Amino acid sequence: DSGVTQTPKHLITATGQRVTLRCSPRSGDLSVYWYQQSLDQGLQFLIQYYNGEERAKGNILERFSAQQFPDLHSELNLSSLELGDSALYFCASSVLAATTDTQYFGPGTRLTVL
């Protein structure tokens, strides 16, 4: 158990809908990362937050947004869902935002868009 929690574990929804994925980092970690794992794209970095502020952005679609709250938990919002958004979404956390920090991954949220 990495100490990173993600809810829900599974999510099934329809095209055009909006969902929110939640992540709680390890105790004491200030940085949160979101990754998407899909069959065709593999594991891709989406976005990073550090202590409430956006720190880095990857291949995140405009339909997707994220935020980190004062208690350091983070939410990834996916809207206008398409079939291709079906994937495993991981959250990872690290102590700071330094590149020396190891990222610890949560168990992931499996999103299925029908």
Partner 1 sequence: AQTVTQSQPEMSVQEAETVTLSCTYDTSESDYYLFWYKQPPSRQMILVIRQEAYKQQNATENRFSVNFQKAAKSFSLKISDSQLGDAAMYFCAYRSARNYGGSQGNLIFGKGTKLSVKP
Residues 56-75 that bind partner 1 (CB under 8 A): 56-58
Residue list 18-57, contact with partner 1 (CB under 8 A): 31, 33, 35, 42-45, 48, 55-57
Strands of 74-78's sheet in order across: 5-7, 19-24, 74-78, 64-68
* Residues binding partner 1: number (CB under 8 A): 28
Near partner 1 by CB under 8 A: residue from 81, 85, 108, 111: 108
How far is residue 96's CA from residue 88's CA, in Å, rounded to a whole number?
Answer: 25
Q: Which residues are near partner 1 by CB under 8 A?
A: 2, 31, 33, 35, 42-45, 48, 55-58, 88, 90, 92, 94, 97-100, 102-105, 107-108, 110
